[in-house]
Structure 1
C-alpha cells in the first residue's frame, strides 16, 4: 500500500511540476521597466546634486517633485549664465590689457620728425615775383598767402598754365630750403651735417624737412615709380615695421636709427633758423615752425597736426611712445569683432606697411582720383598718376560736394592696425638770453655773422630725447579663449548642479556602454523548453 501510494505520488509529481512551469513560464522582457530601472539606478548613483532624491523610493511623490523642480531650476540658471558668457565671448572677444613685459628702449626706433617753417614764401623771392614775375607766378603766390580758395583765384586761362610742374618749381624756389632752416644738428652728442640727417619733402604744408623715415625701398611697394624729390638715405637701411620690429640680423647703426640712451646728450638737438626778416606770409598767426613726431613708416600730414614752436626759446621735448601690440591668436577672430588689421590681412597699393594713417592717405587719394582724375601733390602717387594743377581747383576745393553723405566721414575699409606705434611729447620751454647764447653759438662754431639779437629773435634751440629705458605697452588679446570659456562654463555648472567631467562620463556610460552591455546580457537568457 505504501509503495503504491508512493508510486502514484511520484508519478503525479512531474505532471504537477510541468503544469506549474507552464503557468509561470519566463516572461518576455519589458523594455519600459528596464529603462525605468536603469534610470533609477543612474539617479541613485549620479554625482549630480539632487538626483538621488528624485530616484529614492522611500520619498513621497511630493518630495521627489520638489527635488526635480530644484534640479531643473538650477539647470535653467546655469544655462542662462552660460548663454550670457557665450554672448559676451562672441560679441566682444577682444580685450586690451597692460603687458607685464615692458618694451625696452633698444627695440624702438627714434621717431621720425618733419619740420616746416610756417613762412609760406621768402620775402625777397616773393617781392621779386610781384615785381618781375609772370601772371601765373603772381597768382601762385597769391594762392599761398590768401585765405581764398584756388577755384576763386585762378581764371581759366591762367589755370591751364599753372600745371603741377610749374607749381612744383615755384614751391621749391619760394620756400626756405632745409640747408637754411637747419643751422646745427647734433645726434647722440656728435655734431653732424644736417644734410646727412634730413631730406626735403613736399607735404601738405609745402616744402619741409624730414628725419629718420624708413628708406623708400621699405616704405613703398614700387619706389621707382614715384615722382618725387631726390632723396638720399644713410646706410645700412633696415626693414623695420611696427608689427615685426627690427630684424634679428639688423646692425646696431641700421636706419631708421635707434635711440642711443636717455637724456638730451643721447637724443637729437637742433638749432633752427626761422629767418623772421624774410617772412612774407605764414600759415599761422605767429612765427616759428611746425614740428610733427610720427611713425617712421608714415607720410606726415603736418598742416593740421603739427605742433607750433616759436623762435627765441630753448625747448625740451621728452618723447613718450604709445605702443599697441596684439597676440597672434587674434587672427582667428573675425575682423568685424576685433576692429583691427594685421599687415598680412590688407595690402595697400602704395605703402608696404599697413597703418591706419597710410590707409587713410591712400583712400583719400583714390577718392580724389576717381572724382577729379588727379591727386594733390602730397598724396601717394606714381609716375602715371596725374597731379592736380590749378585748373582742377574747382574739383579738389569742392570735393566734399561730390561725395555721398554716408561716405563723407571716413574711409570705412581703414581699420586701426593691430600693432601700432605712435609718439607723444611732453614739452618744456624757456626764453633764450642773449648774454648766454653767444657762448653757446661759439662753442658750436656757428657763423660769425649771427649776432645775439638775431639769435634770440630768429633761432629755436630744441632737444628731442627719451627719459625712460622701458615703456608700458598695451596688448590686444582674447577676452575668452576656449580654455577660459570651458572654465567659466564648468564653474557655473559646478556651482548650480555639482557638474564635473566625471558627471558627463557617467551620463555617457549609462546611455551607451551600460545600456549595450545590459541588452547583450538579456539576449543570452534562453527560456527552458522541454
Structure 2
C-alpha cells in the first residue's frame, strides 16, 4: 500500500513538473542535427547564391544556357584579371626604382665646392733620386746614371691606365732592379716628389689670397702622390668619419659638432675668378725626365667629389708656359636616393648606400673607389704585394718594391678593361679573357658628378706671366641639377593596382576573399561531419 502511494506521487510529479517529449518534438530535434551536415553541392549552391563576386549569383538558379553563359564570362574575366595581374607583378619585380629630376636649380651653398687635385708632371726629381739611390749603389759613371734614369722613368710612368709605358724602361734596367730590394717605395716616391712650396706660387679663394700649402694636402691616387684642395680622401681629411662626409655633402642633416679639419669650403658665386685660382711656378726642367715621364712639364688637374679618389687618366694637362691659363667651369649634377629604396635588396635597387660597405682604401663606399681597390687586389693576387699608392690592410703582405716592377708591368694589361656581363655582344673573346672582373663594384646611391667646360688660352695679366701656369676653377651656373632615385611601384601601389583589376573584371575585394575562405571552411567541416557520422 505504501509502495503504491509512492509510485502514484512520482507519476504526479513527473506529469506536472518534467517536460514531456512528443514524437513530433523528437523528430524535430533529429531534424536539427541532420541539417548541419548538408551536402557539399548544396553548400556550393548556397555560396553562389550569396557571393559578392559579380555574375556568380546567376549560376545557382538558372537554365543550362544561362549557366554556360555566366560561367564563360566569369572564366574570361578571371583569366583577363590574372593576365593583367601578372603583368603588374612583373613590373613590380623588374622596375622597382627610377631616376627622375627632383630639382633643376639647387642652390650652390647646399653642397661643398668640388675637390681639385693637382698632380705635378715630375713624379721623381732626378737630384733627389740620385741621392737616394747612392745609399744602395755607387753612382760613379754615366752608364749607371743612365740606367738609374730608366728606373726613375719606370716609376714615373707606373700609373693607371698607362702602365704599358713603363715596359721599355723596365726592360732596359732589369739587371739593376734586384739591387734595390730594401728600398721602401712609398718613402722613395714621397722623398722625390716636388714639395708644395716648389709647385705652388700663389692661391686665391673667392678672390682673396690664401696659403696654398694650408689649402692643399697630400693626396693618394693611382697616378702617384698629388695635392688636393677640399678633399676628404686626402691625408688631411681621411680621418673624418662617415657622418661628417654625409653632412658635408648634404645627404644627412648637420649636427652641432664638427670634427676638426672636416668642414669643407662652399661657394655661392659664378664665373671666372670667383672660385679657386692657383698660380704654379715654372717647371724646373733640370729635374724633369723628359720623355721618361707622362707629361714633360706642368701638372694634371682632376675634378672630383670630396669623398672620392681622383680618377687617374681623367686629368686635364696644365702646361708650364708663360701666361698659360686653364679656365674650368663646373656644373654639378647630384643624385640622391629616398630612404624607401633602402628596404629593397642591393641587387633589386642596383646601388649601394655609403654605410652599407666599407673599403680598406677608404671607409666611404663609392663605385670609383671600389674599382680602384679591385685593381689593387688583382695586383696583390698576381704579384703578391700591395701597390704603394694607397693605405694597405694589415694582412702580412709586403709592399711592392722596385724588383716587382717586371711583374707589375706584365700583369697590369689585365686591368685596363672591365669584364662586361656574360653574353654581351660586341666584345672579342681575347679582350674578355684579358679583362678584369669587378662586377661587385656597383654604383653608389648618393653621387655627385661634374660637367666640365674648359678653355686653355694665354692670359694678359703680368702676374700670370711671372708665375707661368694659371688655373681658374669656378661654377658655371647659379644652381645644380638634382636627380632622385625612388620606388616607382611600391607594394602598396601593387596592391591598389591588383585591387582595381580585380574589381574591374570580377567586382572582387578583400571581403570577397574572406567570404570565399569562410565558405570553403564551411564546406570542409560539413564534409568531415558527413564522413564520420
TM-score (norm 1): 0.73
Q: Distance in 1 between matches of 2:307 and 2:43?
A: 70
Pick aligned residue for 1:184 from 189, 202, 205: 202
Find 2:488's aligned residue among 474, 479, 490. Answer: 479
Q: Output the CA distance in 2 between the equivalents of 1:421 and 1:69.
A: 57
Give, in whole Å, the separation in 2 of the partners of 1:123 and 1:212.
30
Aligned residue in 1 for 2:307? 297
Give 1:247's aligned residue: 254
Matched with 2:161 is none
For residue 83 of structure 1, the aligned residue among 65, 83, 86 is: 86
Match of 1:113 in 2: 116
Matched residue, 2:70: 67
Secondary structure, counterpart of 1:153 in structure 2 = helix
Does residue 258 (structure 1) correspond to residue 285 (structure 2)? The answer is: no
The one of 350, 355, 363 aligned to 1:339: 350
Alignment-derived partner of residue 270 in structure 1: 278
| C-alpha distance in structure 2 between counterparts of 1:476 and 1:114, whole Å | 29
Paired residues for 1:450-489 under 5 Å:
452=465, 458-465=468-475, 467-469=477-479, 471-489=480-498
Equivalent in the alignment of 1:317: 328
Out of 195, 209, 218, the position equivalent to 2:227 is: 209
How big is each residue's C-alpha offset from its partner over 1:214-262, in whole Å with a ceiling of 9 and x where there is no partner? 265863699xxxxxxxxxxxxxx87757585563225699634231312
Deviates further, 189-198 or 497-506: 497-506
Q: How many residues align?
A: 465
RMSD: 4.3
- When residues 256 and 163 of structure 1 are mapped into structure 2, their CA distance, relative to the original with a 3 A threshold, is farther
Question: CA deviation digits over 1:131-181, x for unaligned, max 9?
Answer: 6975663332343477534541333444332654368436643x5433233
Equivalent position to 1:200, from 208, 214, 218: 218
Say which of 378, 396, 406 aligns to 2:408: 396
Q: CA deviation at 1:204?
A: 3.6
What runs of 5+ residues in structure 1 fail to find an aligned partner? 1-17, 223-236, 447-451, 524-530
Classify 1:393/1:335 alpha carbon distance in 2 versus 1 (closer, same or farther; 3 Å): same
Q: Per-residue displacement from partner, 1:343-390 (whole Å, max 9, x unpaired)?
A: 333232342111112222223223322332212221332686532222
**Structure 2 residue 431 is the aligned partner of structure 1 residue 420:** no
Residue 528 of structure 1 is matched in structure 2 by: none
Q: Specify which of 152, 156, 159 is matched with residue 178 of structure 2.
A: 159
Partner of 1:379: 390
Q: Bigger shift: 276-285 or 356-365?
A: 276-285
SS in 1 for 2:184: helix
* Secondary structure in structure 1 of the residue aligned to 2:355: helix
How far 1:74 moved relative to its partner?
0.9
Cα pair distance change 1:187/1:493, threshold 3 Å: same
